[in-house]
Amino acid sequence: MQSSLRKNKTTAAGLAFIGGQLGLHRLYLFGMKDVWAWVHPMVAALGWWGIERVRQYGQDDHLAWLLVPLLGFTLAATSLTAIYYGLSSPEKWNAQHNPLTPEATAGNTNWLTIGVVVFSLLFGAITLMSSIAFSFQRYFEYQVEEARKISQ
């Protein structure tokens, strides 16, 4: 019975990396009643809606400027979560997620855990920088356009 209650660190990190925008890691660790597990897909859906608006209306759609970064920041945050899970010590992991079995091997780090951390770092950095670049580019292009309107 206790083995089914153990929460594996590698599984949680992998779920945060692969299914983070759906909140799968939160559902795995905290169950169906976790509010944040349900917030993740809502925010990600808004970001995907922003991408769809860019495809439909072009890059000049002001609402898309606000929505697209939500997806990027959600992906970057869940990548950071995967890194946090993967780099946490076995003692700390087991104290938080396996309190009945503090010596459980589920909190140990292996090569798969390190692989998830490396790919999360790579993917998280790319999505964060892309989201910031998109946001600032749109903002400054809008400011230049408005300045031209004023100066004419």
Read off the tokens for 140.
């400054």
Q: Smallest Cα–Cα separation from 20: which of 87, 72, 60? A: 72
Q: Show the low-confidence residues of the chain (pLDDT under 50).
A: 1-3
Q: What is the pLDDT of residues 46-86, one digit of tens each?
A: 999 999 999 999 888 888 888 989 999 999 999 999 999 99
Domain that holds residue 140: 2-151
pLDDT at 26: 95
Helix (H, G, I), strand (E, B) or coil at 33: coil
Structurally, how many domains does the chain consist of? 1
